[in-house]
Structure 1
Amino acid sequence: MKNKLLLIILFIPFVLFSQSEISNNLKTISGFINYKNKTLPGAQVKVKNTNRNTKTNFKGFYKIKAKAGETLIFNYIGLEEKTILIEDVTSTLNIDLKIKNDIPKLNINKDLKLSGSTIGGLQREFEVITFDVKYINKYAPTITEAILEKVPFFFTKQNKFGENLIYLKGKELQGPVLWEIDGIGYDIPFPIFMYEIKTILILNPKGSSCVIKVGTNINYNKVKDLDYNNYYFSNEDYYNYDAIPYENQKIYEPEYLDGFKNISNPNEALKTYINQYSENKNKINYHFNVLNYFQKNYKDKNILLKVLSDYEKIVTHNPEDLKGIAYKYQELNENKKALALYRKIANIRPNYAQSYRDLANSFYDLKNYKNFWFIYNNYFNKGFKIEDNDIGDIITSEIISNYKNDEKNNHKYQRIKINNPTKITEADVRLVFEWNTSEAEFLLDFVNPYLLTYKAENSIEEYNQLILDQKKKGYTSKEVIIENLMKGDWFVNFTYLGNKHYKPTILKVTSYYNWGKPNQTKKINVFEFTVENVKTQLLKLEGK
């Protein structure tokens, strides 16, 4: 009996310690659940695979305990369920629920990447592909689905009218493939029965759009009772210049900025900032609001660095806020300061792929090529791999480019050689988009000189598996390569959809012109977004 009591007494501290440790890992997640901009009482919130659950109160507010790595499920009868993976920084999650959409989306050959593909990857080299129609799925509901089943380098996206458009991987920015049915060209195929098809030919001329040529035993060009006008793009399918330039965004200006309104001297502005600092420093987005005001009105780098330095001291352990500051340092060409922050972030998030890439890239900006290769050798030695996702595309591009540069300069570091036949190593433009929080949701629009828009949506509604991959692998970035910037104006537009909490999303866009060529140049622009559902023009590129 004494032995049993002794075992129980010895076991109690261990149990208490274990429970305390688990409890310490739990944190409070809170927020509001909304439907059509109104709070939703009685919505259910639960932690997946646990018995922890709650409901929103009459104000639509909830509070629940969860820990990093767990999944919260939000639902309400008749509305689409939403799942969110909890991260180290998660504390506030304001959720918008929507009506269930029972219309199935066609996701054949959709990669786990923003937009469903590597935008601007090396296209499949072919001029003509002929199909034996005997092997086409005769039970496919549409010719689009029948072709997608057989052609892995095609994928589909829905336009705003619910029509499935086919794109050729690598030629996404040129627009969807064109159709020719019985000798007549169309933008969208009209309904054709599978048994009517005699021939299918896919043409991929260099420098032009891909064309799918279909021959039928009906000879539709002689059929007169079909309204063929429905199968051409209308004005609504083209860009109508409805994006607002970023600098013209109307944003709320907090009262503390009024103290700077009549000050034209940057030194006086700095004194005012110091005097009001203790009162305002903990207000949401105080530092970035002041920074943006100073950057617009004074253009004095020293006072900008003062604000950023103060902000660093406030958010010393928050990797998302630190990343936003690092973006601004890079925009100001303060690469050593950016490197110091990326080191901190890597220590906080050692299992995030983005941490290694950002750190390596910072060393390269400082021409510290030895440490660039050291970071990536360490990355692979720890068991990380280059995966077929967005961060994998970026890492591959930069390793190949820097390997090539080191070869030219005859550097003797322990380099890494990657052979990737689908990777474009020289291009007119390479764009890298990075955002500081994994909860950010947005639409990216790429408009070519023909005013055709290619959309990439980063949202739970559009592609929840992608958001989960970003969180699990630890990356928030996307590469877009435009190999040939055809003559005319290109636009890059951004529609912010929110980030589920009260801080803004900081977006960094790095534009590489003449990527991989001797005359390569680089420009960094940093944008801050709080206003939702407003299409904003980020960049205008001029092809020659």
Structure 2
Amino acid sequence: MKKHYSFIASFFMIFSGFATERLISGKVTNGENPISNVKVQVVNQGISSSSNVDGAYQIVASAGDMLFYNAEGMEPLQIRVEDVTRVLNVVMFPKVEKLENVTVTRNRRSSQKELEMDYHYNPNIIRTAFGYLDKTKTSYSVRMMDADDFLPGEYNFENVLRGRFAGVRVSRGIGFGGGNTVGSTRAVFLRSGWPAVFDIDGQVFTDFPDFIDVQNIDRIAIIPSAIGTVRYGNLAKGGVVIINTKTGTIIPKDKNGLYLDRMRLRNNNYDGNALSKERVMKNAPAYLKELQESRSFEDAKASFEMHSKRYSSSPYFLLDSYQYFYEKWKQKDYADDIVKKGYGLFKENAVLLKALAYMYESHERYDMAHKAFRRAFILRPQYRQSYLDLAKSNRNLQNTKRAAVLYARYFYLLDEGIMEADTSSFSRIISREFNNLLSLEKTDMIKSPANMKMELEEEDFDSTRLMLEWNDSEAEFELQFVNPDNQYYTWKHSLKENANTIRQEKDFGYSCAEYLIDDSFSGNWKVNIKYLGNKSLTPTYLKAIVYHDYGSKSQRKEVKVFKLGTKNVNQALFRINQGSSISLN
């Protein structure tokens, strides 16, 4: 108990130092030209500023504050301030006015068809009585969980609602009929004093669904707001619980019995337009080009020392130089000395520490990576990503017990309400990582914190898993996946296209995504990226971890790191040959 208390106390002592005020500056544009008279506010703080004729602005805010950008004729933006935030160059987009009493039937049908086809692959989609809904595209709150979040043998639907969704209350003896027979009825309350209704496979029920088999549930969504339930009418003034069952959800399949995928559509053919690494290198900094042209280690040293006079205060110069000398000339000591001398630029900045850790990890220098991840954890104990990074780092060092304890501690903090519970994609990622550890490593001697159950779930996926992590949570990009049939799918990670997802990442403190590669294809998958920037003039570092035979005893991984600096062009990252290896393009 004393250990738990000390940990929690230190957690809040560190967190209390998180709200230091700082001056934030930047420029607001429409992507090309500056926007003047943009009102910039610190939400709920009474602090505001405006952009000048050049689009420039300054405002004082603290880490954790929300900045609200508003300009006439433009879509408003909200951006969470972080511990490293100093510059926010914001791009605003024209407001799209919705015309009343106008129905574009063709587009609506097309959108619904796409959502239907994406349902199997996109856990953010739920089917309602009024069609498919993508929670990332709504203007109101939608909380979701799917079958992967249920424990084997879990059967009590009442406990699922009460235990997995914060703020949900289940009461007995009160229902739509107003009866007072205790125990005869149950009602679910999402807000106020009116019970919620249930939308089950498109059918609306007012009574609590005692007939629901938890193991038959595919997805659940909670919509508490009046805006989100307006289509249900007055009946749903207490909110809606939407349930898609496995037996009641028909997912389109092709003639081979495979789930339809928009990547397989005829108009999604990849034209091979991604820039190669060599072409992207043409936009590299001058110092890096000169280093690459060095014909000997001594020539490279001379070039580095010359450029150090100008760039020694740049952590990105040090990262580039470390990577160059370590990979090109195999000069470990010299490369380490570069970082050692400039470590002061890294030690108080979690974003830079993560970039450094990525580098070390790609070189299989797990002890060095661990030191960087541990320092980042100290700086950001409230970030979910910190727990995942440090737990995986311990596993790399074969410290499986420490890794498992970190995972268990994370879930303990959620159970105790010390950290806010979430039903985001991160929840699935960290649960999968924890389960994989328990499945494949010797963790018999692990003791979990009090009241913390460590359940082992059977992994139902044993093919290729791709894990992507980026060091800067402000990073925006578009990932393009090209299957062996040369058809592609693009995931747009940007404020313009996916503002809710980015807001959720910032609120919960994570910057990662996973992709389970479809094993119905054999051959090479290509992964490309269009980098859109990170609201400053600094690069972003992307780490790609490819797990082969994931979940099996023969599981193995490869790690690659990419520096993203060239904006708005599609560039090739790597190719994956399932069951084989990852190769750079």
Is this a same-fold pair by TM over 0.5? yes
Tell me the residue number matched to 1:418: 455
- Note closer, same or farther for the CA distance 1:339–1:439 as it changes in structure 2 (3 Å cut): same
- Note closer, same or farther for the CA distance 1:259–1:71 as it changes in structure 2 (3 Å cut): same
Q: How far did residue 542 of structure 1 move?
A: 2.6
- Note closer, same or farther for the CA distance 1:325–1:488 as it changes in structure 2 (3 Å cut): same
From 445, 452, 459, the equivalent of 2:480 is: 445
Q: How far did residue 411 of structure 1 move?
A: 3.7
Tell me the residue number matched to 1:93: 88
- 1:324 maps onto 2:355 in alignment: yes
Cα distance between partner residues in 2 of 1:71 and 1:308? 34
Q: How far did residue 262 of structure 1 move?
A: 5.8
Cα distance between partner residues in 2 of 1:483 and 1:91? 41
Tell me the residue number matched to 1:527: 562
Q: Is the 8 A contact 1:112 1:389 kept in 2?
A: no
Q: Is the 8 A contact 2:268 2:489 kept in 1?
A: no
Tell me the residue number matched to 2:542: 507
Cα distance between partner residues in 2 of 1:50 and 1:388? 29
**CA-to-aligned-CA distance 1:460-490 (integer Å, 9 cap, x gap):** 1222222121112111001111252521332
Where in structure 2 are the equivalents of 1:301-312 lying within 5 Å?
301-312=332-343
Letter in 2 for 1:208: G
Cα distance between partner residues in 2 of 1:438 and 1:445? 19
Cα distance between partner residues in 1 of 2:466 and 2:578? 15
- Note closer, same or farther for the CA distance 1:30–1:404 as it changes in structure 2 (3 Å cut): same
Q: How far did residue 377 of structure 1 move?
A: 2.7
Cα distance between partner residues in 1 of 2:267 and 2:252? 27
From 264, 269, 275, the equivalent of 2:295 is: 264
State the TM-score, normalizing by the size of structure 1.
0.70
Cα distance between partner residues in 1 of 2:507 and 2:69? 20
- 1:242 maps onto 2:273 in alignment: yes
Letter in 1 for 2:502: I
State the TM-score, normalizing by the size of structure 2.
0.66
SS in 2 for 1:93: coil
Q: CA RMSD in A?
A: 3.8
- 1:345 maps onto 2:394 in alignment: no
Q: How far did residue 45 of structure 1 move?
A: 1.6
Where in structure 2 are the equivalents of 1:80-159 lying within 5 Å?
80-102=75-97, 109=126
Cα distance between partner residues in 1 of 2:146 and 2:255? 17
From 195, 204, 209, the equivalent of 2:258 is: 209
Tell me the residue number matched to 2:20: 25
**CA-to-aligned-CA distance 1:25-66 (integer Å, 9 cap, x gap):** 321110111124122233222222233222212222111111
Which is further off, 304-313 or 88-97? 304-313
- 1:393 maps onto 2:424 in alignment: no
Tell me the residue number matched to 1:68: 63
Q: Which runs of 5+ in 1 are unaligned?
A: 1-20, 123-134, 138-150, 156-168, 170-199, 213-230
Q: Which runs of 5+ in 2 are unaligned?
A: 1-15, 99-107, 113-123, 127-132, 150-200, 204-216, 222-243, 580-585
Q: How far did residue 295 of structure 1 move?
A: 5.7
Q: Is the 8 A contact 1:356 1:379 kept in 2?
A: yes
**CA-to-aligned-CA distance 1:433-466 (integer Å, 9 cap, x gap):** 0000110111112222233322222111222222
Q: Is the 8 A contact 2:264 2:488 kept in 1?
A: no
Higher relative contact order, chain-length normalized (CA < 8 Å, sep 6+): 1
Cα distance between partner residues in 2 of 1:317 and 1:480? 32
Tell me the residue number matched to 2:329: 298
Work out the percentage of aligned pairs sharing the same amino acid.
26
Q: How far did residue 235 of structure 1 move?
A: 5.8
From 430, 435, 439, the equivalent of 2:470 is: 435
Tell me the number of residue pairs that the alignment of Structure 1 and Structure 2 aligns.
433
Q: How far did residue 532 of structure 1 move?
A: 1.2
Cα distance between partner residues in 1 of 2:550 and 2:309? 45
SS in 2 for 1:285: helix
Letter in 1 for 2:294: I
Q: Is the 8 A contact 1:119 1:481 kept in 2?
A: no
